Amino acid sequence: MPMLKETIEKNRQKYLDTWFEALRIPSVSAEAEHKPDMRRMAEWLADLLDGELGFAVHVIETQTNPLVFGQSPEIPGAPTVMIYGHYDVQPVDPIDQWRTPPFEPTVAEGKVFCRGADDDKGQSLTHVFAVKSLLETYGSLPLNVKFIFEGEEEVGSGALSAFLESEENRNLLAADVILVSDTDKPGADEPGITYGLRGVVGYELTLTGPNRDLHSGLYGGSVQNPVIALCSMLSEVIDSDGKIRIPGFYDDVVPLSERERAELARRPFDEAEALAAVGLDASFGEPEYTVIERRGARPSFDINGITGGYQGEGGKTIIPAKASAKFTFRLVPNQQPEPLTRALEAFFRDRLPAGIKMDLVFQHGAGGMVIPLESPFLQAAARGLSSVYGKAPLFIRDGGSIPIITQMKESLGADLILAGAGLEEDRIHSPNEYFTLRDFFLGIESAAAILTELARVKTGE
């Protein structure tokens, strides 16, 4: 698309200036003192979508930070894409580790250093400027475009999650496909599409024995020890090959297809190097799956913390009154938290020794998601990226969880494309966050190419 590239080139300074304006607004969602900045940022975005793109824009009030919604003039029969981004950023602490002021964009070594440079103001704006460049080059858009920006992705997405509960709101956001740039690409010249995310569910299990810590000489060998009971119950959850032993746990797992396994195997991955980077010399898990598959496409169980008894200086000869553990499962489609909670409660009840009481508390949970590789939208996005990078993107199943993204996909019944423009080394959430100028402009070009290809998908209307 040479004409489009020219438009992007021509607007280079303007796009930079606009991006920098956004970066100068310290929209830190976690800190109450920045409350006015959240509103300022939302209004700034609304003005941009209205002024630059001519979209119909609403700043939607919520219990917390506003949502910003914008919509292009309707083209009947054309597919509709909903582009998601977030305008809030992480706090800047530790401030003394920043080499430049965190809210003053500073260009050095081809990078723009600033909080939010990548996550997610830089990445979100690549889409706005892609739309702007398409409009300026061709006079109109080839498909229907909606934008939704939230101001609390970094603190749990409460407002957007609640917004999606209403049918009227879901109709407003309705789309054939959701497009998101809030993840990484595999390499500077290596495009990628994340087509799967794991879900997560977290619990705390507390076991209570005697009504106080007991003398282990007077009572040892005659009453249950809650710490031992906890260790024994938890050790039964998983075997030495990483298989989870809760009955029915794998019933809803959608197996990996041969095609997916082939796609995942394309990703360059040096297991020894990856392990060495975290100080390990051996991996763990289901032997019939590769490490990449175990991380992104298989469920897992981890104990996050365990507490009980005396851990102070020296020793203390007691039978503790209480022991507890926090643990999580990463889930894959179509596993859901609710049936697991029921199965887990029964599993522990069956193993609970006499003399011990248990309390299992569900803390949080969300299912995972996966888009079939055959999805026409996924394939269209891949063609778009190929046209910019000169090579096909890698298809990635990410081991992490983005509950709001999964909820959006589920509640809108739309396909989802996660095409990150940034790199893992961009230090998002850390001091000296940056986005390279090259990735920023490649991101604009990629987003425009993806939108152009998405517009060609027949939606059957």
Residues that bind Zn ion (CB under 5 A): 119-120, 182
| 447 within 8 A of 130, measured Cβ to Cβ | yes
CB of 337: closest distance to Zn ion in angstroms? 23
CB of 25: closest distance to Zn ion in angstroms? 16
Residue 149 or 395 with smaller CB distance to Zn ion: 149
Residue 317 or 430 with smaller CB distance to Zn ion: 430
CB of 31: closest distance to Zn ion in angstroms? 17
CB of 250: closest distance to Zn ion in angstroms? 31
CA distances from 323 to 15, 160, 316, 351 (A): 56, 37, 16, 16
CB of 289: closest distance to Zn ion in angstroms? 29
Rounded CA gap, 337 and 319, in Å? 34
Calculate the dihedral angle through the C-alpha atoms of 85, 396, 129, 455, rounding to the nearest 10 degrees. -100
Sequence-separated (6 or more) residues with CB below 8 Å from residue 241: 285, 286, 287
CB of 249: closest distance to Zn ion in angstroms? 31
Write down the residue that tokens 């401030």 correspond to: 95
Residue 103 or 329 with smaller CB distance to Zn ion: 103
Rounded CA gap, 322 and 203, in Å? 17
Residue 119 or 293 with smaller CB distance to Zn ion: 119
- Is the bond preceding residue 334 a cis peptide, omega within 30 degrees? yes
**34 by DSSP, 3-state: which?**
helix
Residue 118 or 293 with smaller CB distance to Zn ion: 118
Environment class of residue 135 by beta-carbon count within 10 Å: exposed (0-12), middle (13-18) or buried (19+)?
middle
Residue 114 or 214 with smaller CB distance to Zn ion: 114
Residue 161 or 307 with smaller CB distance to Zn ion: 161
User: How would you label 287-321 residue by residue, b for 16+ Cβ within 10 Å and e otherwise?
Assistant: eebbebbbbbbbbbbeeeeeebeeeeeeeeebbbb
Rounded CA gap, 102 and 430, in Å? 11
CB of 280: closest distance to Zn ion in angstroms? 28
